[in-house]
Amino acid sequence: MSSHFSQPTFERVSPQQVERARKFQSAILCDVFGRRGTLAARVQALHPAMQVAGPAFTVEVRPGDNLMFHVALAMARPGDVIIVDGKGDDTCALFGELMVSQAEAAGLAGFVVDAACRDTDTLSKGVFPIFAAGRNPCGPTKGLAGTMARPIAVAGAPVQPGDLVVGDADGVVVIPRADVDRVLIAAEKKLADEKIRLEEIGRGELVSPWLHESLRAAGLPALPTA
């Protein structure tokens, strides 16, 4: 009797929420989410212009093996971001041009992988968003079990299937699906506040009022007045 992988079923952040999230930098989202949810700095875009936003399709693999990554690639839905706990391994690449080409053809939104990649000269010139933790020409093995569409931790950040993943030149942040609406509303306010502060700086108001308040709260001397 043969057995087959079951198509994973989980609630995803909505397409409308993803579109709203695209206008915010990862830094804005991280700040309003309590300065949490970011992946370690080793996970970076292959090119600074690359940006990604979409629901998390989670994968966990043993270091240096990409068998379950291939399974996820075959089963993820269009718009998903495949996010892989590769244990930060940089002794070989977990993916390259062939897997990215398959992901593009399947309409996936991007890769976020806590492990190395290869074919980076080609991939860094492409349009498919790729975030990885290093580069290595050595290929992976394809023979060890892993998990897919389950809760994982990637480069220090907890990730549930369907969570919002946003990445840009600063790095990657993951927002739990249940918190997305609240975080997006807070991000709108922070963006408006930062616009006001930039206008103040443009008028020559170089010291923000919060600095005076923080110095006083910390029991430190006040700044000299002009």
- Strand stretches in the chain, DSSP E: 44-45, 52-60, 81-93, 110-116, 130-132, 147-148, 152-154, 157-159, 164-168, 171-175
Instruction: For residue 119, say whether it is annotated as part of any ligand binding site.
Output: yes
Q: Could you give the count of Cα atoms lying within 13 Å of 216 in the half-sphere of its Cβ?
A: 5
Instruction: For residue 199, say whether it is annotated as part of any ligand binding site.
Output: no
Distance CA 137, CA 92 (A): 7
Considering the entire predicted model, what is its pTM? 0.92
The domain spans of the chain are 15-184
Instruction: For residue 179, say whether it is annotated as part of any ligand binding site.
Output: no
pLDDT for the residue 1: 40
Residue with tokens 């600063």: 170
Q: CATH classification of 15-184, choosing from 3.50.30.40, 3.30.1600.10, 3.40.1360.10, 3.40.47.10?
A: 3.50.30.40
Tell me which residues of the chain have a pLDDT lower than 70: 1-2, 226
Model confidence over 25-40: pLDDT tens digits?
999 999 999 999 999 9
Instruction: For residue 143, say whether it is annotated as part of any ligand binding site.
Output: no
pLDDT for the residue 164: 98
Instruction: For residue 99, say whether it is annotated as part of any ligand binding site.
Output: yes
Instruction: For residue 19, say whether it is annotated as part of any ligand binding site.
Output: no
pLDDT for the residue 206: 85
CA dist list (Å): 136 to 60, 96, 126, 132, 175: 20, 10, 18, 11, 30
pLDDT for the residue 2: 53
